[in-house]
Amino acid sequence: MGLFDGDASASRLPVSVITGFLGSGKTTLLNKLLRHDGMGDSAVIINEFGEVPLDHLLVEAIEGEVAILASGCVCCTLRSDLEQTLRDLLARRDRGEVPAFSRILLETTGLADPAPIVQLMLNNPLVGHFVRLDTVVTTLDAVNGHRQLGEHAEAVKQAALADRLLLTKTDLASPEAIDPLLRQLIALNPAAARYVVTNGEIEPDVLFGASLFDPRRKTVDVQRWINEEAYRVDNHGDHEGAQGEHHDHHHDHHHHDVQAFCLVSEQPLSWQALSRWLDRVRRGAGDDLLRVKGILNLSGEAAPVAIHGVHHVFHPPVQLDAWPDADHRSRIVFIVRGIARAELEASFHEHVAGAPS
C-alpha cells in the first residue's frame, strides 16, 4: 500500500457525536431516541442519567453506570475519561455483559467544544483501532439559535463542525426567527444537511452515516462526504448577506469570520508538497482550522487518499481501494475562523497545485 494505511472503516464501529447549545433540545431528542426500536443495535453515552429520565425505559441496570433499555439500546454515563468509557463499554460487549451493539452515539454537554472529542476519534490509537468517527450532529433552537450564534463562540463552533444540523422548536418559532438562522447556518457550514425536528421525533439513521465510508453499499461515498456542490455558492455573494446582516450586532464577532470553502486541483498533487503545506497551515493557524477533509489524487498513487482533521489533529491519511467514479480531482474542504480564503487559496496554488509532482 506504500506510504498510506488502507481503509479499515468497515471493521470499526461508527461513533456519532451529538452536540448543541444549552436549551437546544438534546434531552428531548435523546428521550425519544432511547425509546425508538431503531436504536436496538446502538449504545448511547450520556453525561448523567439524571438529566435524561430513564425510569420508564429501564429494563436492567449494571453497576449503576450502564443500563439496558426496553428498546434494546445500551445506555451508559460518561466518566471523566472518554477514552476509558469507550474501552470499558466495548470490553463489556465483548464479554457478553451487555447486548451486542454496532454503533455508538455520544452526547456532549451544552457548553462543550466538540473538537477534542472529534480529535480523539481521529487520532487516538487506543480508540481508533476499534471505532471511527461517523457523524457530528448539532441541535439548534429555532427560537433562540440566531441570537445564540451571535453571542456564543461555542454555539458557532458546534454548528461549524457539524455534518448534520437539527433545527428544533420550529413549531414555536416565527419565520422571522427561522429565516435569518438558516442564512447563518448556510454561511457557516453550507455542506451540512439540515433537518427539522419536532418534539424530538427523528429517525435514528439521520444521526449516522455521514462518514466517507458507506456501510450500506460497502464502499466510499466521496460526493456525499465532500459535498462540493454546496461550496459552489459564492461565499462572497449569497453567503455574505447572512454574515453581513450581523454587523450592527455587538456580539457578531464570534460568527462572521467563520467561512467554509472547497479548494480543487485538476492535476495530481505531490504528497510531499501538500503535507509540508498542511503542516505549515496547522502550525500557523491550528486553533482556527475548525475542520478539514479532502480526497486527493496524488502523483504515483493509483487510488485516492483521504485526509481529515480538526484544528492541528489529523487522522493518518488513508488510501482507499479505488476511485468511486470518473472524477479524479483533488478536493479539500476547509471550515476556518479568521483565515482569509484568498490567502489560503493563493498559498495552496503556489506551494501545492503549482509544485512539481
Q: What does the pLDDT look like over 95-144, one tens digit per residue?
A: 999 999 999 999 988 778 899 999 999 999 888 889 999 999 999 999 99
Confidence tier at 323 by pLDDT (50, 70, 90):
very high
If asked whether residues 169 and 305 sit together in one domain, one would say no
Does the pLDDT at position 255 exceed 60? no
Partnered with residue 294 across adjacent β-strands are 307, 332
For the record, the C-alpha cell of 162 comes out as 457539524
Per-residue pLDDT tens over the stretch 45-54? 998 877 777 7
Does the pLDDT at position 277 exceed 90? yes
Q: Is residue 80 part of a domain?
A: yes
For the record, the C-alpha cell of 278 comes out as 498542511
If asked whether residues 203 and 271 sit together in one domain, one would say no
Strands 13-20, 131-141: pairing is parallel
Per-residue pLDDT tens over the stretch 165-209? 999 999 999 888 899 999 999 999 999 999 999 888 999 999 999
If asked whether residues 194 and 301 sit together in one domain, one would say no
The pLDDT of residue 122 is 93
Q: Is residue 107 part of a domain?
A: yes
Confidence tier at 260 by pLDDT (50, 70, 90):
very high
For the record, the C-alpha cell of 210 comes out as 455521514
The string of DSSP codes covering 49-102 is: GGGS--TTTEEEEETTTEEEETTS-EEEE--S-HHHHHHHHHHHHHTTSS---S
Side chain identity at 307, as an amino acid letter? I
Confidence tier at 258 by pLDDT (50, 70, 90):
very high
Q: Which of 176, 200, 219 is the last residue of a domain?
A: 219
Q: Which of 196, 219, 242 is the last residue of a domain?
A: 219
If asked whether residues 19 and 75 sit together in one domain, one would say yes
Confidence tier at 356 by pLDDT (50, 70, 90):
confident
If asked whether residues 281 and 332 sit together in one domain, one would say yes
Strands 289-296, 305-310: pairing is antiparallel
Its pTM stands at 0.90
If asked whether residues 145 and 282 sit together in one domain, one would say no
Judge whether 24 and 140 are in contact, CB under 8 Å.
yes
Does the pLDDT at position 344 exceed 90? yes
Distance of CA 18 to the CA centre of its chain: 9
Look up the domain containing 349 and give its range: 250-353
Q: Is residue 198 part of a domain?
A: yes
